Structure 1
């Protein structure tokens, strides 16, 4: 009797598993077909500003200011994102001697030119937390003494060209409207509704949830051992591009970082200090760009889509060297905290494009002004290295 029951139960369970396997396979094939159709070219080479974006942007600014007040350090107001710095370091950005003529624009117009710069390395969260916690990691670069008329007319930033990146090739929202919904939910502590805003499955953002989970990665061994991407597109002269910064150890002396104690809250700062200040070994990167091919699905307005490297490979335009230096002083850390990085601090030849970049212009400027006003600090950039 018992044997017959288990045989019957085994057959039922086997059929159920087979049905689930078939349903899963059909669902996967349907998803692949849908996204293959949805993510197919051609795409526009121009921006498309949706109705209501200005109102969405103002609502995001209000939420961002609410977040910086919630996460302030005693009375000091921190950034609404990338609040924790691993250090601000001096850097040199040298344009390669030979660059394709169609990419010689802006700060890359003069082959062999070396720009002095500040580089800020950070965690992504709005609240300073232990480095071992899964998080995004950021890199911001500010080139100094850059001549020419800038996109923003603030006197404090007339000589700057900023590049802002983090360590994932895509963003977990597509546009300003989705960012508004996601950001508002997370600022209210409602992480589930950030990606599942209603009971309607059509509103669920499962693909974007997967991107967010991939973005919250374990900490690298060091802030100078990972790749940082612009996520959103920019102009480079007449071309539409994305850029990234990758480690370039072969351009620096060989170096093996000693094993770090990852239980320490600030071990990424310690790793940076170990290499640059104690062992006196520089760090090297390559700055690269990827051009849009509008015949394929390389959209301007959707930052959740990665541009295919097989279709449009990255090309190196400059080398970045972070020389050995002493950076971890109270004065330099405070100056770093008062720095403002904004992709709109720069030349028209590097104009940010797309909805997320339009959002950045308003939000970064508003939150920066609010933060400096609350902290009683100026926006003056430290002197050139």
Structure 2
């Protein structure tokens, strides 16, 4: 009797499971068809600014200040994102000698020119946590002694050109309105409501929740062993572009990083220190750009959409090298913590575009000023 009942239950469970798998497959196929229809070109090659964006930006600044106060340590106010640095290192950015003439704009206008730079490598979270925790990872590059008038008029940043990136090709919000809703939920400690704000399924952002989960990836073996993306678009002279930095070990002497103990809280800093300071081995990258083709779905105002590399392949514009160096000193770490990176520290030829970049201009500046004031930092 029990055996017959068990077999009946197994058959019923198997049929239910098969039905659920079929329904899930159909839902996935319908989703793919929907997004194939929704994400079809052409798109605008110009910015489109919503009328309520300024109001939303002010609210986001208030939320960002709340977050930095929630996550401050005993003595210092930290960044509202990418609070934990693995290190600030000196770098060189050399424009390619044979760079295509159509890409020779701004800091890339002179083939062969080498810019001295600072590079900050970090985790993405607003609270310093163990490196083994799933997280985004960030890279920010600050070119030094860049002549020309900048988009932000601050004398402190008059000679700087910044590039700000993290290691995922898309962002988990599309625009400033969604960013406000998402960020407010996080500031209130209600992370579930960031993507499921109500009981109405029409308000759910399942696709963006999946992007966020993919962004929270396991740590790479080293901060210099992963690709970093701009996420949002920028100008490069007349072009609308996205950029990225990819590891290019072929440009460096052969090097194999010894296996790191990922159970240590700061193993990514240890990996960077092992390579640059102990083994005296440089790290090499290429800086690349991807030009928008507005005949296809490559939107400016939606950072949750990846531009198709098959249609618009990335093109290398410069080599980035991080020479062997000693960087893990108290003085340099404090200097690193006081650095401000902002994509609007830029020449007009590299103007940030799109809603998320417009938001960055106000939020980065406001949070940086607040942080430096509270920390009595230069």
**C-alpha displacement at 1:30, in angstroms?**
1.3
Q: Does the alignment pair 1:232 with 2:199? A: no
C-alpha separation between the residues in 2 aligned to 1:5 and 1:263?
Answer: 48
Q: CA deviation at 1:101?
A: 1.7
| Per-residue Cα deviation, 1:58-79 (whole angstroms, up to 9, x for no partner) | 1110011111111111121110
* Partner SS state of residue 64, structure 2: helix
Q: How does 1:339-350 map to 2 (within 5 A)?
A: 339-350=339-350
TM-score normalised by length of structure 2: 0.97
Task: Tell me which moved more, 340-349 or 51-60.
Answer: 51-60
**Alpha-carbon distance, 1:27 to partner:** 1.6
Is 1:163 aligned to residue 163 of structure 2?
yes
1:24 Cα deviation (Å)?
A: 2.4
> CA offset at residue 256 of structure 1?
0.7
CA displacement at 1:10 relative to structure 2: 5.4
Say if 2:216 is the partner of 1:202: no
Q: Matched residues in 1 for 2:14 and 2:88: separation?
A: 59
Question: How do 1:30-109 residues align onto structure 2 when only pairs under 5 Å count?
Answer: 30-109=30-109
With over 3 angstroms needed to count, the CA separation of the structure-2 counterparts of 1:261 and 1:8, relative to structure 1, is: closer
Match of 2:124 in 1: 124
Deviations 1:274-301 (A, max 9, x none): 1111111111000000000111110000
In 2 relative to 1, CA 94–27 (structure 1 residues): closer, same or farther, beyond 3 Å?
same
SS at match of 1:290: strand
Superposed CA deviations along residues 4-31 of structure 1, whole A, max 9, x for unmatched, are 6556555544543443343223222211
Task: State yes or no: 1:136 paired with 2:136.
Answer: yes
1:175-324 to 2 correspondences below 5 Å: 175-324=175-324
Structure 1: state its 5+ residue gaps. 379-385
Mean Cα deviation higher: 7-16 or 20-29: 7-16
Counterparts of 1:309 and 1:238 in 2: how far apart (Å)?
Answer: 20
Partner secondary structure for residue 245 of structure 1: strand
TM-score (norm 1): 0.96
Q: Aligned to 2:65, what secondary structure does the other structure show?
A: helix
**Which 5+ residue runs of structure 2 have no aligned equivalent?**
none
Paired residues, number:
378
In 1, Cα distance between the equivalents of 2:76 and 2:5? 69
- Measured in 2, the distance between the counterparts of 1:120 and 1:134 equals 19
What are the Cα deviations for residues 85-118 of structure 1, in whole angstroms up to 9, with x where unaligned? 1111000000001112221100000000000000
